[in-house]
Amino acid sequence: MKIALAQINPIIGNFEYNFNKITEFANKAKSLGADIVAFPELAVSGYPPKDFLEKQAFINENLNTLTRLVESIKGIGVVCGYADINRIKGEKPLFNAAALFENGKIIHKAYKRLLPSYDVFDETRYFEEGKTSEAFLYKGEKIGLTICEDFWNDKSVISDRYYKNDPVADIADNGAKIIINISASPFEAKKNNFRASLISSTARNNGIDFIYVNQAGANDSLIFDGLSAVCDSRGNFCVMATEFKEELITYDTTPSQIYNPLTLNFAHENESILNALITGVRDYIIKSGFSKAVIGLSGGIDSALTAAIAVEALGARNVTGIFMPSLYTSKENYKDTRSLAENLNIKLEVIHIDKIYKKFLNGLFFVSNSDKPEITEQNIQARIRGTILMAYSNKTGALVLTTGNKSELAIGYCTLYGDMAGALAVIADVPKTTVYELSYIINKDYPKIPLNIIRKAPSAELAPLQKDEDELPPYKILDAVLKGFIEEDKDINSLVKQGFDKRLIEDIIKRISKNEYKRHQAPLGLKVTSKAFGYGRRYPIACDTEFNF
Amino acid sequence: MKIALAQINPIIGNFEYNFNKITEFANKAKSLGADIVAFPELAVSGYPPKDFLEKQAFINENLNTLTRLVESIKGIGVVCGYADINRIKGEKPLFNAAALFENGKIIHKAYKRLLPSYDVFDETRYFEEGKTSEAFLYKGEKIGLTICEDFWNDKSVISDRYYKNDPVADIADNGAKIIINISASPFEAKKNNFRASLISSTARNNGIDFIYVNQAGANDSLIFDGLSAVCDSRGNFCVMATEFKEELITYDTTPSQIYNPLTLNFAHENESILNALITGVRDYIIKSGFSKAVIGLSGGIDSALTAAIAVEALGARNVTGIFMPSLYTSKENYKDTRSLAENLNIKLEVIHIDKIYKKFLNGLFFVSNSDKPEITEQNIQARIRGTILMAYSNKTGALVLTTGNKSELAIGYCTLYGDMAGALAVIADVPKTTVYELSYIINKDYPKIPLNIIRKAPSAELAPLQKDEDELPPYKILDAVLKGFIEEDKDINSLVKQGFDKRLIEDIIKRISKNEYKRHQAPLGLKVTSKAFGYGRRYPIACDTEFNF
């Protein structure tokens, strides 16, 4: 049996687009001689549809689209994800479902049994757990269907979070030799390796060919890295699709078809992060119905990296940089910004903010006119810049990309409605130390980001001689503490044992906690680590921040 | 047996504060001769603790606090909510628990079985369901413990969302005559009546005295209205606590103690909404560690109502109004704003924005200097005001309260980083038509809000002769469609059947959808309806908005 894996990038709620996409890939698979083609989890609606799942009109349209697919695609078996209705009273009203259909008939349905309810996942909000998993005969082979989390349960690989039920084992015990898993598994750094060991171990431990089909592209914060693959029953990878992009690959189960075991050679972690961010920017802007971006360039590394990513995502002619110097802007930043814009080949506008800033200072009885701006006056400068960027956006239809990194977002070293103003926070989940590493990758072939931007000491330039290092712990230490506390849920004691100063840790944690209100109003950020700020990290705001949890 | 109901207002994560509060109320109950005192759901940590529940240090502190309470409160039985650890692998790591302890020993534990996972509730994210419910003997009475949602399952009252398990019935079948329910049930308009019928029906149908103890006060968006009560086995209310405030009430189960059935006489729906908003503002500001508020006054009804609410919540001396007129500001708004500030007895600052606005227009090559400001120029005006308010906040420590209502937030008739800038969106869940109704209540005794503010046609005053009614559907129609679509999940067809024009409905729904990105960056809003924007309403942003779900 020849199986095609259709790694597609659907648009949430655009059923017509998704119908056409599925039809196109099914036809392509047929032309390659495939017996069956599999699409990702909830491919009909796009993943994650969130509370659209509570709208009856959305569910109906999703079912109508499935019916249209069943009726129109002929001559090939199709496995497709959709939301099915659960009519049992006292249970959640939907199932996260997979259907296998062929020539106008649904042959088999499977319901997702392991529903993730952590981090960015809210599936128990909408779906009832499937109760059983079965193997069934299809074209002479005993096969079974599972959905995403259903296979994230191999105790030899996963130590902490696992489930009592084991759909893959149930299907294998039932005699299946091939198990198809349709997924929408978001990217995070290093997850590809972990996921690969899980796929391999699942195939080997259950003695099955494991067919893994993942979504590609990005939806809001989540970026789907694809990497759809087939692992044979010895746990060897036979075929694997590329990262982040749509692709159709095939696998033949006939024993005569011999696959040399693939040596997995994933891109370096930082290469993948960079590609994830490019994908995230592109899909956010395109799926929102726009094509252009505008970025406030400061001469610093964060905005330089953001601009470089935008150029990769949208093309240089769709990116504009706006440089907005003040009396605190150093000469080198004029020069560096011009070089950056030239290197990236983007349009650069220069708008001085001093006159506007002075009018604010003159007009507000309560602010200081002194040479040493306090927080209030620093924020005014940042907000003038935010207002200018948004005005440019309003006038031109270019979306503002914000440039803050994860380190400063964590401790609130950023201005609400100022540098935080925009549609998408491109590097909001990238720690400052990683910002440098990504910049070196951007500069791989030639220094697109001028080296002086990478080398000089970071500064917000909102006050004379201001330097990040005078107001913050060194980024190397800050980032290590943040990683321990936010991504690894370590408490103060374990961080102390790691060698960090206790008062420093407490101070950092207190700053994280006190700045929850800022992050609550931050634009969407692209998720590239195991714990990003935003939808997957939910903390109260108005509560005591003197306690360090 | 004399039972005390301790309707307290804990602070999330402030275990020392909550320990003292519980101790204080337990001692008060003891001095009233109570045999047992019951506190709300998760009283030890405050509700909802959200992802704090994933922090081991938080869980430990919660358990330590419970242990300290068990060891220190003597001479009275105490029922108290806390998070307990579940050690079974493959299950969620916590239970939402209630313990009854007395004189140093825990006598009984119950785990919440019905875990809400909808709207603002994410309990399946953290908790495993309790598996059983038992009656047990305490001081000669057969009693049982349940937690909040555990009783939201009476099929004679709830038609749509119910559960298979029925903890109350299990405990009653087990012989209990008294069932205590500890809750943290958020306020929404009209819920008090519904909840009362549910309590009454639960008590009557199960033949038990039902003791309902709810949290008071507000945490972020959620306002807890208290109204703790006892219903006897005939379904009659015997005692009931007040709305929103901390209170201790008692109930004696001795048959000789006769209670005349209470005639429930809840405050009018709008009175309750107003009290909810006052509670929400007060607790947000106090629990954040602040005491003062600042509000941009426009001369319009939204900012007038917001200021009046802030005065009720914080006292007039803690509220400042800033009036920020432009060349588009009408004379009557100067006058009305002064009257309002005088009536409310608050400080009023006047800051003209024209000079700053002109500098923006002169400094930005892409904006228009014409008399007819387009969206771009209108937004600049709003953002100057936002920047001024935030600067005042930075300088004085007064938190900015935003003044947008639900109708404009729904369709995006508001400016991100402009009038949307602030810490708390006081009336973000109040439709414009209700804003008028609340203003009449504020004016009950004398016209605090000048009548001209109520009577004149609403205008954003960002362009000459601008009026809401020229740019929006009439609020009466808009609000009715919004209620149907957002709160009642009606689709286009049912709204058409209700008598609204199809194109108008489609246009409104499209605007709701297109403005998801604005609401994503909105400040916390106080929830007073069954479906507020924010945490309980989760939609994708970058997706096709041409589809109307």
What pLDDT, in 10s, does the model give residues A290-332?
999 999 999 999 999 999 999 999 999 999 999 999 999 999 9
Q: Chain A residue closest to B18 (CA)?
A: A544
What's the whole-number average pLDDT of chain A?
A: 96
Q: Is residue A509 part of a domain?
A: no
HEC string of B79-100?
Answer: EEEEEEECCCCCCCCEEEEEEE
Final residue of a structural domain among A232, A262, A292: A262
C-alpha distance from A347 to closest chain B C-alpha (Å): 14
Q: Quick one: average pLDDT of A369-386? A: 94
Best A158, A394, A533 member to test B by mutation, with max B CBs in 10 Å, is A394
pLDDT at residue number B7: 98
Q: Is residue B396 part of a domain?
A: yes
Q: Chain A residue closest to B128 (CA)?
A: A117
Are residues B288 and B370 both part of a single domain? yes
In B148-185, which ranges are E strands?
178-182
Phi-psi region of B289 (alpha: psi -120 to 50; beta: other; left: phi over 0): left
pLDDT at residue number A362: 95
Q: Are A52 and A77 in contact (CB under 8 A)?
A: no
Tokens of B260: 């005349």
Q: Check B57 against A163: CB less than 8 A apart.
A: no
CATH code of the domain containing B213:
3.60.110.10
C-alpha distance from B255 to closest chain A C-alpha (Å): 37
Judge whether residue A240 has pLDDT over 80: yes
Which among B379, B540, B544 has the least Cβ separation from residue A50? B540
Q: Are A94 and A54 in contact (CB under 8 A)?
A: no
| Cα A238 → chain centroid | 27
Are residues A122 and A186 both part of a single domain? yes
Which residues, in sequence order, are CB contacts of A76 under 8 Å at separation 6+? A26, A29, A30, A34, A35, A36, A37, A102
Residue A56 identity? Q
Residue A10 backbone phi and psi in degrees, to 5: -75, 165
Judge whether residue A501 has pLDDT over 80: yes
Which among A58, A544, A548 has the least Cβ separation from residue B11? A544
Write the pLDDT tens digit of every residue in B37-76: 999 999 999 999 999 999 999 999 999 999 999 999 999 9
Write the pLDDT tens digit of every residue in B101-128: 999 999 999 999 999 999 999 999 999 9
Q: Is residue B497 part of a domain?
A: no
Are residues B93 and B117 both part of a single domain? yes
Q: Check B14 against A547: CB less than 8 A apart.
A: yes
Judge whether residue A157 has pLDDT over 70: yes
pLDDT at residue number B159: 77
Final residue of a structural domain among B266, B285, B315: B266
Cβ contacts (< 8 Å) between A376 and chain B: which residues? 391, 394-395
* CA angle centred on B378, ends B376 and B379, rounded to 5°: 65
Tokens of B11: 């602070």
pLDDT at residue number B255: 84
Which among B220, B376, B392 has the least Cβ separation from residue A394? B376
Q: In angstroms, rounded to a whole number, what is the distance separating the alpha carbons of residues A185 and A224?
A: 6
Q: Is residue A195 part of a domain?
A: yes
Q: Is residue A129 part of a domain?
A: yes
Helix ranges restricted to H, A32-101: 56-72
Q: Check B288 against A118: CB less than 8 A apart.
A: no
Judge whether residue A546 has pLDDT over 80: no
B364–A contact, CB cutoff 8 A: yes
Q: In angstroms, rounded to a whole number, what is the distance separating the alpha carbons of residues B521 and B422?
A: 11
Judge whether residue A498 has pLDDT over 80: yes
Are residues B55 and B118 both part of a single domain? yes
Q: Is residue A491 part of a domain?
A: no
Write the pLDDT tens digit of every residue in B443-458: 999 999 999 999 999 9
Q: Check B383 against A387: CB less than 8 A apart.
A: yes
Judge whether residue B170 has pLDDT over 70: yes
Helix (H, G, I), strand (E, B) or coil at B186: strand
Is B102 noted as a catalytic residue in this protein?
A: no
Q: Quick one: average pLDDT of A53-76? A: 97
CATH code of the domain containing A283:
3.40.50.620
Q: Chain A residue closest to B522 (CA)?
A: A521
Cβ contacts (< 8 Å) between B484 and chain A: which residues? none
CB count in 10 Å sphere of residue A163 = 19
pLDDT at residue number B291: 98
Confidence of residue B478 (pLDDT cuts 50, 70, 90): very high
Q: Check A57 against B549: CB less than 8 A apart.
A: yes
Q: Check B363 against A386: CB less than 8 A apart.
A: no
B140–A contact, CB cutoff 8 A: no
Parent domain of A387: 273-469+516-525
Q: Quick one: average pLDDT of B298-308? A: 98
Q: Check B364 against A388: CB less than 8 A apart.
A: yes
Residue A383 identity? R
Residues 320-349 of B with CB under 8 A from A: 349
Size of interface A-B (CB pairs under 8 A): 255
Are residues B126 and B23 both part of a single domain? yes
Tokens of A161: 């979070």
Portion of chain B with pLDDT greater than 90, in percent: 94
Final residue of a structural domain among B214, B239, B266: B266
Q: Is residue A76 part of a domain?
A: yes
Are residues B310 and B423 both part of a single domain? yes
Are residues B152 and B295 both part of a single domain? no
Judge whether residue A545 has pLDDT over 70: no
pLDDT at residue number A361: 96
Q: Which one of the listed residues A80, A148, A238, A414 is annotated catalytic?
A: A148
Judge whether residue A161 has pLDDT over 70: no
Q: Check A12 against B355: CB less than 8 A apart.
A: no
B488–A contact, CB cutoff 8 A: no
Q: In angstroms, rounded to a whole number, what is the distance separating the alpha carbons of residues B39 and A13?
A: 45
Q: Chain A residue closest to B165 (CA)?
A: A90
Pairing of strands B237-240, A247-252: unpaired
Q: In angstroms, rounded to a whole number, what is the distance separating the alpha carbons of residues B423 and B438?
A: 22
Judge whether residue A347 has pLDDT over 70: yes
Q: Which one of the listed residues B21, B80, B102, B112 is annotated catalytic?
A: B112
Q: Is residue A44 part of a domain?
A: yes
Are residues B337 and B243 both part of a single domain? no
Residues 42-61 of A with CB under 8 A from B: 46, 48-52, 54-58, 61
Are residues B237 and B331 both part of a single domain? no
A394–B contact, CB cutoff 8 A: yes
Write the pLDDT tens digit of every residue in B135-156: 999 999 999 999 999 999 988 8
Q: Read off the pTM.
A: 0.97
Are residues B329 and B252 both part of a single domain? no
Are residues B252 and B387 both part of a single domain? no
Portion of chain B with pLDDT greater than 70, in percent: 99
Q: Check B544 against A287: CB less than 8 A apart.
A: yes
Judge whether residue B307 has pLDDT over 90: yes
What's the whole-number average pLDDT of chain B?
A: 96
A542–B contact, CB cutoff 8 A: yes
pLDDT at residue number B545: 66
Number of domains in chain A: 2
Q: Which one of the listed residues B41, B102, B377, B408 is annotated catalytic?
A: B41
Residues 218-237 of B with CB under 8 A from A: 219-220
Are residues A236 and A288 both part of a single domain? no
Cβ contacts (< 8 Å) between A384 and chain B: which residues? 387
Q: Chain A residue closest to B153 (CA)?
A: A90
